[in-house]
Chain A
């Protein structure tokens, strides 16, 4: 049972390049989330999804897009990367409502 898997683990981008971060969960969870964490700060919610085919904005959605075409996958896209998007990105999933979140181990993205 892998839980929540994030790929890639590390990536370096140049300003203006695009990329997609993949999150996959094998627990049949309904809810999925993308967070970013900057040094010395807590996690900030970017986008989330409450089910296949649905997405919603979190606290800091600008510059990101997401898709949830399959229940087990949640993709985070950066269309034109900026240095301000240098961060560690965490994906999480949960069953409905008050169930605890299960997190992946993060993707470390550097934009130069």
Chain B
């Protein structure tokens, strides 16, 4: 599976949109982009995933560039409860394994 690169930490003001970038320049055509987050020491929580089209659900939006080499997770109105470590993962279709990097520690500031 392709490797991903994320900034180690980011801050965002409460109520603003949080935009978390991820670089996956070696992604191949059958690899999906997944986002998870881990709040404090809880188990990771699935947020969203996509292949090449932009995706939106009740938690977030995922914007994937046309060349698929990078993506952005958008939390539209960040709250204090969104403070967490966010993981961007690339996973090949049919690959049972999911490999986590070190993620981005997002801090929402009141």
Contacts and interface: CB of A to CB of B under 8 A. Distances in A.
B34 to A, nearest CB: 7
Interface string A36-51: 0000111111001010
Interface residues of A, number: 27
A31 interface: yes
A90 B43 contact: yes
Contacts, number: 52
A88 B44 CA distance: 12
Given A97-B93, A98-B32, A41 B102 contact: yes
8 contacts: A35-B100, A41-B102, A42-B101, A45-B99, A50-B96, A90-B43, A97-B94, A101-B98
Interface of A: 4, 31, 33, 35, 40-45, 48, 50, 56, 58-59, 88, 90, 92, 97-98, 100-106
